[in-house]
Structure 1
Amino acid sequence: MTQWLTVIGIGEDGYDGLGQNARQVLAGARTVFGGKRHLELLPAEVVARRVTWPTPFSDAYAMLLALRGEPVAVLASGDPMHFGMGAALTRYVEAEEMRILPAPSAFSLAAAAMGWPIQDIQLLSVHGRPVETLFKAFVPGARLLILSNDGGTPEQVARMLSQSGFQSARLTVLEHMGSDAERHIEGMASAWGHPRCADLNVLAVDCGFTASSARAYSTLAGLPDDAFEHDGQLTKRDIRAVTLAHLAPLPGQLLWDVGAGCGSIGIEWMRAHPACRTLAIEADSKRQELILRNSHALGVPDLKLVRGKAPAALAGLMAPDAIFIGGGVTDDGVMQTCWECLKPGGRLVANAVTIQSEMTLIRWRDTYGGDLTKLGVSHAQPLGSFDTWRAVLPVTVYSVNKPD
């Protein structure tokens, strides 16, 4: 199949800013797709049929594929392969059928305007994504470039920064970059009082070095226990760090957190890498709400909650790369169902506190192999005018890899 689809990056300078290659494609195209704003940038000499993106947008893919083999052009903002239309189209069109002609991305223009080296900053997007994902990026010294969802995003981010203890963070809104209408709006998070900005904007955030009381956490496993809202059903910090080390999250992998409690294991799994995914399975309705609140507050609102009790609630779920069983080890069918659903080469980790659940794990190791680790943790606590060690209940950690 020859190249029939060309995705053209276009900036605020419109047709005048396009190179000769892009102009030749548009001259020879039979159909041009794009947003209303982009299509209006084309001069009358481009005679191709112009098609505005439909609502819902998902219908656009079928419309494009119906024209396979004809010369089709797509107009997209900036670099289509960075949070853009080109990246989305790669899921539907083979690479050899498609040509990409990028323009400078909004991030490149924003970094140039701010004087920030791109390799030293985080590039983020909340366009069509939950804005709570930004909570994970709020750390002292961080510089962020954020593709806004709309003109209300800067005010929302300023409020989130203040709530997280970053009141002194500096924000700069960059509107209509690359055009005569380009404008920069600056302010501090705690004093942000600007009206709604242009819907097309990039937000630059300099978190600065703020007070130690700010709500900022490492992405390494083992967040403080008080980072989570919980009812006592929580895998404690030290045990959680070891458990996640055994689970060994890798980019793009899916975890089942079975008997998720307040969601701590699944949340930390997702914080390890932006592409990590979690299905949190929990039967208790109050804990389900804790999971949702914690996932939003800790920057992983894409965590998926499965309301129900294992093993019945596991039916039909996407096969996982790893499974953690924090509750229900002794329940009929839970271990067996999890093992059967786990992908070949996947990892199963289960924790036990009671003698009965530990015996279950020992029997499983006798049958399927794996490792058993007994963890005993003590914390220094006052005893009169002195200190002593107070031991928490020991935890047995079982981990095993399923054969390929």
Structure 2
Amino acid sequence: MSVTVLGVDGTTRPSAASARALSRATLAVGAARHLESVVLPTGCRRLELGPLAPALAELRAHDGHAVVLASGDPGFFGILRALRASGIRPAVVPALSSVQRAFAAIGRSWDDAVVVSAHGRELGPALNLCRARSTVAVLTAPGAGPAEIGAGLAGWRRTLVVAEDLGGRDESISTVTPDEASLRTWREPNVVLCLRDTESVAPRGWLAGGEPWPPADGWALAESEFHHRDGMITKSEVRAVVLAHLAPRPGRLVWDLGAGSGSVGVECARMGAAVVAVERDPAQCVRVVANAGAHGVDVRVEEGAVADVVPHLPDPDCVFVGGGGAAAVELAAASTARRVVVALAALDRVAEARDVLVRSGFAVDGVQLSAARTVELPGGGLRLAATNPVLVLAGVR
């Protein structure tokens, strides 16, 4: 048994290696459109790909030379992983991937792009990356396509480029807003490019997909790294503990309720999470926008009372409550979040907040944080200056 996996892109002529593999084939496996796109030898048996397990069994049992036809690059979110996992070690002749072709169609470099797959997976993590990052390519599937992505991006400033039937007879490229995408019916297959800015191009970096997480200059940044009002900011020592309990990461959505200057939300965005900051003070909302811009991240800011805003937000994975009172804790506990972290300066609110979380099914830990920082004395020595103590409640559902 020998197997060659051939990438098919619908436009380029088969390479010499592809032609040689096809000429020897006694079994060809692939989607109907791929089987129709190649010339097979007389007597070659065709197996249209449906459920994967029967096809893998046929390939393992086949005595001759088999070819497996796949879209684009079979090693890029393709069938190659499943073949190798089943014990088949094929030769591979790739073609252009759909992501390469989509970016080429709009004439844009894509080494800054994050590529995610919603094919056979939950759409939520892919959506959250689209909400967090400036350049994302999404490999779609029925029920997790341009319309669903567009609906999920309501409230975020994005442009979607939808590439339909790449390499096929009905290939088309559409540039639309998320709202426009949500209202249309799209041909399969397609790939979606989600862009924060269609014109600007990120500076050339050293790592495909942009800078890695966690950020290179650390986290729990000094208060001086943020615009804030009269010291009204979550202190860096508290932020360090809060971030540890929230566990923000790419693919997750964080609510920052009672965001103030937005230091926690900005730090979560620096860790790769999508973030919605809710704050009722217009001046503080401006500070959140300024702080997010200063650190090169995207934080969606919603101005208004927590109780008015939260019912209209997409479901979170984790919530930080820095303000908003008891109502904010109630709404956080009632959400889909698996993790809720509450920072409290007033002791009389601790028991109530903890009770709300426990009643909602959270296991709750609490810690009082009281830091003393070194301060230089006029004579050159050091003394310790205490910061105000804060109690952090961390709930895990």
Q: Which TM-score bucket, shorter chain as reference?
A: 0.5 to 0.7
Matched residue of 1:124: which SS? strand
Alpha-carbon distance, 1:88 to partner: 2.3
Aligned equivalent of 2:57: 62
Distance in 2 between the 1:50 and 1:24 partners?
A: 17
Matched residue of 2:59: which SS? helix
Alpha-carbon distance, 1:242 to partner: 4.6
How many percent identity over aligned positions?
24
Q: Per-residue displacement from partner, 1:310-357 (whole Å, max 9, x unpaired)?
A: xxxxxxxxxxxxxxxxxxxxxxxxxxxxxxxxxxxxxxxxx9658xxx
Distance in 2 between the 1:195 and 1:376 partners?
A: 55
Alpha-carbon distance, 1:54 to partner: 3.4
Whether 2:43 is the aligned partner of 1:47: answer: yes
Q: Per-residue displacement from partner, 1:275-328 (whole Å, max 9, x unpaired)?
A: xxxxxxxxxxxxxxxxxx544999xxxxxx9xxxxxxxxxxxxxxxxxxxxxxx
Quick one: structure 1 residues 353 and 193, their matched pair in 2 at CA, closer, same or farther if it must change by over 3 Å? closer
Alpha-carbon distance, 1:132 to partner: 0.8
Aligned equivalent of 1:133: 125
Aligned equivalent of 1:239: 241
Matched residue of 1:58: which SS? helix
> Matches of residues 162-201 of structure 1 in structure 2 within 5 Å?
162=154, 165-166=155-156, 168-192=157-181, 194-201=183-190
Quick one: structure 1 residues 161 and 243, their matched pair in 2 at CA, closer, same or farther if it must change by over 3 Å? closer
Q: Contact 2:6–2:67 at 8 Å: present in 1 too?
A: yes
Quick one: structure 1 residues 72 and 240, their matched pair in 2 at CA, closer, same or farther if it must change by over 3 Å? same
Matched residue of 1:120: which SS? coil
Quick one: structure 1 residues 32 and 76, their matched pair in 2 at CA, closer, same or farther if it must change by over 3 Å? same
Distance in 2 between the 1:206 and 1:103 partners?
A: 25
Aligned equivalent of 1:384: none
Alpha-carbon distance, 1:201 to partner: 0.8
Give unpaired runs (5+ residues) of structure 1: 210-217, 223-235, 252-267, 274-292, 299-304, 306-350, 355-373, 379-387, 396-404
Distance in 2 between the 1:59 and 1:177 partners?
A: 28
Q: Contact 2:120–2:141 at 8 Å: present in 1 too?
A: yes
Distance in 1 between the 2:10 and 2:319 partners?
A: 35
Q: Per-residue displacement from partner, 1:169-207 (whole Å, max 9, x unpaired)?
A: 111211122344221122112344652111111111112
Whether 2:145 is the aligned partner of 1:150: answer: no
Q: Per-residue displacement from partner, 1:232-260 (whole Å, max 9, x unpaired)?
A: xxxx8542435689xxx9x9xxxxxxxxx
> Matches of residues 146-295 of structure 1 in structure 2 within 5 Å?
146-150=138-142, 153-162=145-154, 165-166=155-156, 168-192=157-181, 194-208=183-197, 220=214, 238-242=240-244, 294-295=316-317
Aligned equivalent of 2:10: 12
Alpha-carbon distance, 1:70 to partner: 2.9
Matched residue of 1:184: which SS? strand
Aligned equivalent of 1:111: 103
Quick one: structure 1 residues 121 and 390, their matched pair in 2 at CA, closer, same or farther if it must change by over 3 Å? same
Alpha-carbon distance, 1:83 to partner: 0.4
Q: Contact 1:151–1:200 at 8 Å: present in 2 too?
A: no
Amino acid at match of 2:59: L
Quick one: structure 1 residues 128 and 181, their matched pair in 2 at CA, closer, same or farther if it must change by over 3 Å? same
Matched residue of 1:73: which SS? strand
Q: Contact 1:377–1:392 at 8 Å: present in 2 too?
A: no
Amino acid at match of 1:86: L
State the superposition RMSD in angstroms: 4.2
Q: Contact 1:375–1:394 at 8 Å: present in 2 too?
A: yes
Distance in 1 between the 2:190 and 2:90 partners?
A: 28
Give unpaired runs (5+ residues) of structure 2: 199-211, 221-237, 251-267, 274-314, 321-337, 339-363, 373-385
Q: Contact 1:27–1:48 at 8 Å: present in 2 too?
A: no
Distance in 2 between the 1:297 and 1:102 partners?
A: 43
Amino acid at match of 1:138: C
Amino acid at match of 1:89: L
1:91 equivalent among 61, 85, 92: 85
TM-score normalised according to structure 1 size: 0.52
Distance in 2 between the 1:137 and 1:155 partners?
A: 17
Q: How many residues are paired up? A: 249
Q: Per-residue displacement from partner, 1:26-47 (whole Å, max 9, x unpaired)?
A: 2212211111221122336453
Matched residue of 1:17: which SS? coil
Q: Contact 1:139–1:207 at 8 Å: present in 2 too?
A: no
Quick one: structure 1 residues 118 and 93, their matched pair in 2 at CA, closer, same or farther if it must change by over 3 Å? farther
Aligned equivalent of 2:24: 28
Aligned equivalent of 1:82: 76
